Chain A
Amino acid sequence: MAVELVRGQNTPLPQTRLEIRVSAGKPIVAGVTLSDAQGKVRGAEWIAHPGSPQLPGLEVSQQAAADHRLAVDLEALPDAVERVNVLLALPVGVGGPVRFGAVAAPFVAVTGLDGTEVASYTITDLDPESAVVALELYRRNGVWKVRAVGQGYAGGLAEMLADQGLDQSREIASQILDAVARGMARSVAAPPPRTAEGDRVRHTAAAAGSAGEHSGATAGEHGAAAPQPPTTGAPAPAQSPTTGGPAQPPTASGPTQTPNSDGVNYAHPSRRPAAAAPPSPPPTAPPAQPGQPAQPVAGDATGWSMEERLYNQVWGMFEDLARTTAAYRSAVDFAESRMEQELDKVLSDPRSRIGGTGDAAREAARAKQAQLVDQAREVLDRDLAQLKAEAEVVEPALPHAFAAWDNPVWHAYRVPMEVPMALRLGDLHLPESADVRIPLLMRLPLERGLWIDSGRSSSGSVTFHDSAELHRLALETAVALAARLLAAYPAGDFSVHVIDAGGGAAGSLAPLLQAGVLAHPPGHGAPGVTEVLARLTKRVELVQMAIRGGATDALPPDLDTGEQLLIVNDFPHGFDDRAVTQLRYLADEGPAVGVHLMLVADREDASAYGPILDPLWRSLLRLTPVPDDHLADPWIGHAWTYQPALVPPGSTVLRQVLAQVAQARREWGR
């Protein structure tokens, strides 16, 4: 029967061979000190820490980690030991958090060797402290007991060790932290600190998820009042801003515990005060006035996070517009066909040739048609007004990955910490509803490559563009989309490669080139084509082999495992048969292992290859640099007019965003 301890509480231990599990969400140091009957640590040999992980009867982890399992055999300890102090500390000098107030509340549990939990304790109310005595196991009248201590030290390990009567506390503390820093240098680099902006959406999702699972244990009084799984252990203050949830006090609201503080907090750490509201309920439309449609609200859809709700709402609007237009078109078609039938009937009826009966019948048929079309139009207009009102509240609420380039959210752009669920590729509209624009949101990572069609479209809508102008526009579209992709991914998780065999794209690619966000200089001429394709083909093959062999950790360390985008300008210019084969290989195999294509091409230019390239074109999502109705919705199959997401003329937002991306890439060290 596990006991959930509060600060100060103790409970007897049923056995002497134990495990102590620690979970903190962020890498922390776990160690143990031993004290004698006077509460004094007799020397460095009574401290188990990452630099000296084993003592008789004790073993601790050799490095900082978010989760620890410490082994304790109380029988095997030196006889003079009366107390075992389990301590936690934040690593210093590795760029991580420096105060426990900035991480999720650490959770410690004492378990038997079979994993059954004896006692657990969540250390709350920490703020500036960087070291804490979590538990003490102590001998009282020959019986071992465990007590929840939760004693924090703002002065860190040195202060803690000094408090335990150790003379060389400062030296030993720095030895421990050095050992930790060395350990961390060997392992994977720590991610850069999370920012509130990059974190907000997903973190709310995690909070909502865990609140659902543990009947609302987290996100109550303090942002992080309960153990959180390591993946969600981001700084707690990131939870509150702009999630639409209830206002939460900042994490640091609890009283600071100094070594002299004798206050005992009897509040149960994992029980939420009754007054706290559930985290971030989805916004709902206020009740409609009688006779009026409900006022639309951004995020009025299902989803774990605001981002997901907005995504679902946009797709819901897309479907609604498709369906209401289908109803309108069906009614109009029916009205037309009925009128034609009736007119035919009038024509074939010999009686109608006499006098005015025929004219009257024709007139009646036309009136019936007009009336039905008017009715249908009325319904359509009502629905369009509703969708337009919804779009007006949804558009400003969109995060940058979903937003148009003229959305002010781009001016507050920060490199995200997580990949958004989708990316806006442009806008869609139907001829009946030119003023209701639906964002075309594609899930990330991309499942298909993109083809920016620089050819004259068959619809004839672009005849006023000459082909050079069209090609320039296609490149501009490609650059705007590539910039969006770069901006959507965390620093270093997305790289762009360019093949520009003829070198003609330098002007259009200038935003990417000048910002320095390309992984390599663009490939020019036949050697450039070969080199870039060989590089990406090798990457696809390696990752495929590693995945098939189940040996993803055996990849060469210099391999960039982030997503890759290959922009090919003016395909198939500069491609020989071998290069075409390689490109087709990338198109087929790449998306599954994170290599995506973006072709800027006129299909006519590749007509010499004949039908052999048809599968390539079909595998790509065709986008046009000018509005063109070639995209079908998944429900009805209307032909939607696609309009690319282009930067407004004269706007510098693209350069600003790319500058931030470039800076983040440099800081990331790539």
Chain B
Amino acid sequence: MIRNSFLILLLAGLGWILFQEFDSFKGSDQLNPVAEYYATQGPQEVGAANLVTSVVVTYRGLDTLGEVTILFLTAAIVGLLFKRESNSETEDIYGTSEILLTAGKILVPMLILVGVYIFINGHLTPGGGFQGGAVLASAFVLAALTFSGTTVKHRVLEIVESFSGISFVLLGILGVVLAGGFLDNKIFSLGTFGHLFSAGAIPIIYSLVGLKVGSELSNIVLVMKSSEKGGDHD
């Protein structure tokens, strides 16, 4: 009883503090200096029609590299903890339902297409490497759920992941050599604003990030799937 009243008191206090914040909130009608610089100079300097992409990949490219590294570490740790069983040839007890099978046949190719579209057009439309990679991974997971016989080779995912990670860092170092700094996108010509082949290295970097994120996320889920199928004996 006392514990519950303390909880209610705590929640009421928290709600009061948050309400004060909400009540005194006034949206500013002009951008702060950094945001204004990005908004006015971004299109000329970077050449990406999607301003978010020019900030994420070029102005704050190092942060993106850090996020990709964190995701890589997560995938590596999951792979370490969940041992892959080599004989994952256990039969499905329930089988795949007709609804899932039909939906999977239609949805898997479309999801792969949407994912690739999102990360290739990352500098033009909303979305980018992370979003496209996540959609791509959900396509592979749906395929693994639906067609229980087919699996993606672990080796292929590893190669795609390592290749795209190394190329990402190499493109960044190439920016130091050829252009203004690490992950500068002006190592290729900026092209016409708003076209598919524009904004320098951004489409290439985002495609690499998309492949890397997609292979990492699907690797996490597929490792869990194969370890769940084999069963634990300890």
Q: Do A and B actually bind?
A: no
Residues on A facing B (Cβ under 8 Å):
none
Residues on B facing A (Cβ under 8 Å):
none
